[in-house]
Structure formats: C-alpha cells, structure tokens
Structure 1
Amino acid sequence: MKTAVIYQSHYGSTETYARWLAEDLGAGLFQADRVKQADLQQYDTIVYGGGLYAGGVNGIALLTKYLDTFRDKALYLFTVGVSDITDQDNIKAIRGGLEQKLPPALWEKVHIYHLRGGILYSKMSFLHRMMINMMIKALRKKPENERSSYERDILQSADHDTDFTDRAALAPLVADIRAGEKPR
C-alpha cells in the first residue's frame, strides 16, 4: 500500500503533523499548493491535512478538485486546530462545517481525524493577528458562562504562543491507515 500525505499549513502545526505522519508511514509528502493530479496516481491511500480557519479546513478544495483521482483510493482527512479535541461540542462543530463544505460523494468516503495544533502569534501574519485580536475583544465581552470550549481555548492562549502538537496523537490515524480501517 503506497500512501501520500498532502498538507496545507499556514504557521507550521499541520506541516509538523504531516511530516511525522509521512515518516511513520514511509509515505510521500506533498504541499497542497504544489501537488499535481499526476503525482497522486501511483498512490493507494491519500491523507490530507489542513488547519482549521474560520470554520473551514485550509486547502480542502483540493479534495474536491481531484475527486475523480480519489474515487478508487482510501481517503483520510486530518484537521488541526487549537480546539480541545476531547470536547464533543468542538468535534460536532468541526464535522458540521466539513459536511457542509464537502460534496456528498466525498463526505461518505473520507475518514476524518482531529488533531490539536496551536496558535503561534510569533509567526502570524498581521491580518491574522488583527482578526484574532478582534475575536478576543469580542469574546472578553461575552459572559464567561456563555463561552464555548473553543472560545475559552482562544482566550487562554491570547497574546502568547501556544503549541499542543503531539506526535502520539497520530497513533490512531497511523494504526487505521496501516490496517486499512475506515472509521467515521
């Protein structure tokens, strides 16, 4: 079984997980904005990783763009975000957003995993810092008992780098790919 790991990363957390995953699986590694459809023909399993931004997954349009190429391949998706992935409300929100963005043929095929990344203010673009700061100001005005787990996570990491990346978190994804299992 030949595996390709494709990723789109703004600030490094998704790239870190993609590199670890490629090492663990002996897989090919591709940046989403540089991979060509022909590059993927030789692979049986495709793994796509993207960071969570504003309710969407960075670069996920690639999965739709190459849907015909992926029809006969095992397809896995991992998302990376600051949200606590043990909180079922966070998982429900992420999956709800994914289900709206992915066409039904892809939604039914893809096996989804969630990993915790971080917020790296030191690497953030001015625009992203400004957007996060606006969100933080709004969240601070919201009553504490009305804040979601995700909102609390954002506030706890306000104004400093926070990195939750953990290679051990890849273990279920690696095991399922090796076994050819198809969890949802």
Structure 2
Amino acid sequence: MIRRIMTATVLYQSFYGSTRQYAEALASQLGTVAQEIPEDPSRIDVPPAAPLIVLSPVHGPAVAGADLLKKLDLTGTPAALCSVGMTLSEEARDKDRSAGLLGEKKDAVTRFYLPGRMNYSELTGRHRTIMRTIITAIRMKPGKSDNDRAMIDANDRDVDRVDLAELDPVVAWARANGA
C-alpha cells in the first residue's frame, strides 16, 4: 500500500526519464518523495485535502496519468495532471488533450503540460518504427504547423526540452492547495 505521509502525493510514470526527472524535482520542492504509479491503483492511498499530482508522459494518443485519475475517488482531494511530451508547449496547452482523456473528471483535475525529452538513440525498435510512420505522414501533409515542422526537425535526433522552471506553476498550485 502506498501511503501519503508528506504534504503532497507525487506519482509518476516514465519511459525514457524526463517525467521521472520532473517528478523528482517537483517532489523535492514540495518536501516529499516521488513514487512510481503502481500497477494496481487500489494500492494508492489518496487522503482528502492534500494535493495529488500525477506526472505522466504523452505516449501516442494515451496519457496513463489521465487513466489513473479517472479510476481514483478524488472527493475532497485537489488533483493535478502533468502531461510530459514533445508537442510544442503553446500548442499542447491550447489543445489541452488531457481534458478529453479525463472525461467526467476534467473539471476536478487541474492540468499542466511540461516539455519532455526524446532520445531517438534510446527508443525501442517498435517506438522508432511508430515515430518513422508519424513523421512520414507529417511530411506529406500540406500546410504544416509549427509543431509539425518541429517534429520533422527533431526526427532521428536526440532532443531535450526538459525545463525544470516549467514546474513553477505546478509548485504554486500545490502550495495554494495545501502542500
């Protein structure tokens, strides 16, 4: 059983390390410890009133943190989702895909977007193939957006957009909610 003994609960899932880096930095600023999201959500003890912050990578059309938050009883618990990805920050915040992924809980969860890291040199073969397919489709698309061009430019290169200063609004939200 994961029990919250600090002022905030910080949970994360990470594939290539940038989400873990954000989670550990956030937890340090809040005086708590970042914990990996357990496979069994019933192992999470979410006490009322103290903030719960879930950090999760955007992995294709999925954000595991949104799936987790949909399963939890958030009654009386301030909750936030930090989605970490490679979409340009302004576009990600404007589109706010996490709102749709949270469904009925979207109004109960404050959403943040954090720029991540993608090291093509570390991608699994399957992930590399998926990215190659996406980039090919984007190259064929007329009227490319700034985000489309950024994806093409980053293709097959290690790109690190992690910026720990992007945690400042998350820390402010957590402190305003009792952390």
Q: Closer, same or farther in 2 for the Cα pair 1:71/1:82, shift >3 Å?
A: same
The alignment's TM-score, normalised by the length of structure 1, stands at 0.84
Q: Is the 8 A contact 1:2 1:42 kept in 2?
A: no
Question: Identity over aligned residues, as a percent?
Answer: 29
Counterpart in the other structure of 1:76? 80
Match of 2:148 among 147, 151, 169: 151
Asked if 1:179 corresponds to 2:176, the answer is yes
Counterpart in the other structure of 2:68? 62
Deviation string for 1:74-130 (max 9, x for gaps)?
101111111221x2x43232x1x32322132x2111111111002111221111100
Q: Shift of residue 150 of structure 1?
A: 2.2
C-alpha separation in 1, matches of 2:52 and 2:80: 6
Give the AA of the match of 2:140.
Answer: K
Counterpart in the other structure of 1:9? 14
- Secondary structure, in 3 states, of the residue corresponding to 1:138? helix
Cα RMSD for the two superposed structures = 2.0
C-alpha separation in 1, matches of 2:46 and 2:170: 22
Deviation string for 1:3-49 (max 9, x for gaps)?
01111111111111011101110123211135654542447110011
Say which is worse superposed, 134-143 or 154-163, in terms of deviation. Answer: 134-143
Write out aligned runs for 1:103-122 (5 A): 103-104=103-104, 106-122=105-121
Deviation string for 1:55-76 (max 9, x for gaps)?
331342111122x2x2111101
Counterpart in the other structure of 1:48? 54
The alignment's TM-score, normalised by the length of structure 2, stands at 0.86
Q: Shift of residue 171 of structure 1?
A: 1.0
Q: Shift of residue 51 of structure 1?
A: 0.9
C-alpha separation in 1, matches of 2:41 and 2:81: 18
Q: Structure 1: state its 5+ residue gaps.
A: none
Q: Structure 2: state its 5+ residue gaps.
A: 1-5
Q: Closer, same or farther in 2 for the Cα pair 1:41/1:139, shift >3 Å?
A: closer
